[in-house]
Structure 1
Amino acid sequence: MYQANEQRYATMPYRRVGNSGLKLSALGLGLWNNFGSVDALATQKAIIHQAFDLGITYYDLANNYGPVPGSAEENFGRILADDLRPYRDELVIASKAGYSMWPGPYGDWGSRKSIIASADQSLRRTGLEYFDIFYSHRPDPHTNIEETAGALDQLVREGKALYVGISNYNGAQTQAIMRVFQDLGTPFIIHQPRYNLFNRDVEQDLFPVLQAAHKSAVGFSALSQGLLTDKYLHGIPADSRARKATIPFLHPEQVDQTLTTVKRLNAVAANRHQSLAQMALAWNLREPAIACVLIGASRPEQVVANVAALKNLTFTPAELHEIDQILADQGPIAWGAH
């Protein structure tokens, strides 16, 4: 039977989420990939055990994570029941609703019906009584924000969530829904944007909004789906996500377009005695608006390597200037509609 490492809290930093009372581990485990029905449950357990043993307390799900959609929540629920139930109060478990989950007009977007039904389904799949954080996964252009905010508020009042968050909202959308949350008295504390060295628009658009309101962000895609690792330094491996074209944000043209930049960034990382992935994680954590950065993993060793990034979170002004110059030389990346 699994027993957690008694020293799990010895070295992991915990960051307060805005002006709320909640703290998150500086790194959280995202379960978007590698935790579905097609992935070995034993490997999933090993990854989650390793993460918790290293002090990671934040676990990030969504209703449609898989494949198949819903299977990541089901698998996490099994692992929770088998191994982590005694530690439930040490965990921050989050899920989301807003992307397509079931057929018909109610299995998508941000209506009250969709969000409430999705949250109920997610609770059943995970076997939880409540989520620590429940998110609106994306803004709904056809549903007014009062309805979406009201649905999230209802989840809190019914005891199905402790806090609420939003994801993929821009700065103006965030300001608008925050006003509704404030009027309702909803414990909205966090935003989840895509943020990495190649995706920096939120620094100007979103982060000032969050900081002015004393809210925080948890960043996803910190390694740009593997671009900001050593995986593609020498070409595109046959078993990579870019070659399989299974990830909508990554394709071979992007790898080719960023190869020179990635090699230059890798040299900066080497001078810091870090891997490129470790430097990319540390770079995200330099941002004051960021409370937590999500990592993904396909094996436990990757969790260990990523957590090692926390050994060097300090950047010199010269390093930051060099990184900015490298990115400026890169110019905009054609992410396309992949």
Structure 2
Amino acid sequence: MFQDITLEQLRELKTKKQLTVIDVRSPSEYEDSTYPDSLNIPFFNDEERAEVGTLYKQTSVQAAKDRGLQIISSKLPSFIKEFGAIEGDKAVFCWRGGMRSRTTATVLSLMDIHAYRLEGGYKAYRKWVMDELESFDFKPKSFVIHGNTGTGKTNLLHRLKNKSYPVLDLEGLAGHRGSIFGHIGLKSNNQKTFDSLLLEELIRLNDSPYVLFEAESKRIGKVVMPNFLAHEKETGTQIWIEMPIEARVQQILQDYQPEQFKAQYIASFQRIKSRIHVPIAAEIDRCLHADQFADAVRLMLEYYYDPKYDYTSQQYEEGSKVTFTVNNLDEAEDAVIKYLAAQNI
């Protein structure tokens, strides 16, 4: 027989042994948001779920159950085979711990495949995430990385993370680089997915003496960071990276690959075109169409992004920030590492 477990028990099991969490909701539900690192083995596909749901609302509960049983019966062998191919213990969940996960766990049990069932399903998990973020006690000291567009702040954080420094990659969690062009070439996450991934990272990092993260706006693409993290950004130690414009142009070309997504960059530029002096905006537009991307980037930095960052910089008192003037990303990495070592944290 299957065993119901709470979310707390599920998380404890995942830390102690191999446990695969399986979302049996429909593919679109799974795509919208799910438990981190879970697999999707849908009980119903999207069309089947819609059909059963319509019967539930417009005909009767029994009619919906009968049709659901008819649908799942025809695909039970392949359904069970998918579960059987997964090694180790398994935990299943649906929207609220109802028919789909209960039936799945029962059928698996009959086939001698043990599975836990998450009480309350995804709905209970989502409530826990929101409650945790609302009351999260952030303990580490914050080091906030600033710098004009193109200084490679995200790349710097990735380098530091690869060397086991405690890094919170907000852009990675959001699936967005934070600028008007930040979604291009990436899969942006919605708020629910961002919240789930963020909470996991916060829990992982909360015993660290400090955490490094980028000075993002409160809104990153489609998502908004929680208030306590925005407060940490404003009150933490501010590390500013200054780098020559030519080095920043090359970093942007490397990161954004404008030749691969030319049409999307041209379209996105139209959203900020009116904020730039007309002759300059026209020249940027011409450069983009003519594949003169370095020239376009340089003009956008000089006449749009750098003035915005100058304004942001002025909001912080000189005594509250540390500035490193470097020529490239290698020098920036060395400077931050030496600075952290000197803090004796």
TM-score (norm 1): 0.26
Q: Rg larger in 1 or in 2?
A: 2
Higher fraction of helix: 2
TM-score (norm 2): 0.26
